[in-house]
Amino acid sequence: MNIKAAVTYVPYQDLENKFLLEGLLDTPADFLAYIRRFTYLFSIQMIFGYRCVELRKMGEACREF
């Protein structure tokens, strides 16, 4: 990946970073769940081009895949 391609992903990273940080501030004990959510949602956005906003849909999508 070159720098021009990487720059296009910055808005996706910023959006998911905000949700990650908000979750960690609210309930830091759920650290691992938030990290999993971040990596899953960011990957889905990059691969499929859409955003899954509910955590329970995350498991459903993984099982269907």
SS3 percent helix, strand, coil of the chain, rounded to 5, is 85, 0, 15
Domain extent, residue 16, equals 3-64
Q: What is the pLDDT along the chain (65 residues), one digit of tens a residue?
A: 677 877 877 887 888 889 899 999 999 999 998 998 888 888 888 787 777 766 565 556 555 55
pLDDT at 51: 73
Query: What distance in Å separates the CA atoms of residue 22 and residue 54, rounded to the nearest whole number?
Result: 15
Structure tokens at 18: 């905000």
pLDDT at 49: 75
pLDDT at 1: 62
C-alpha triplet 36, 6, 47: angle, nearest 5°: 50
Q: How many distinct structural domains can be found in the chain? A: 1
pLDDT at 63: 59
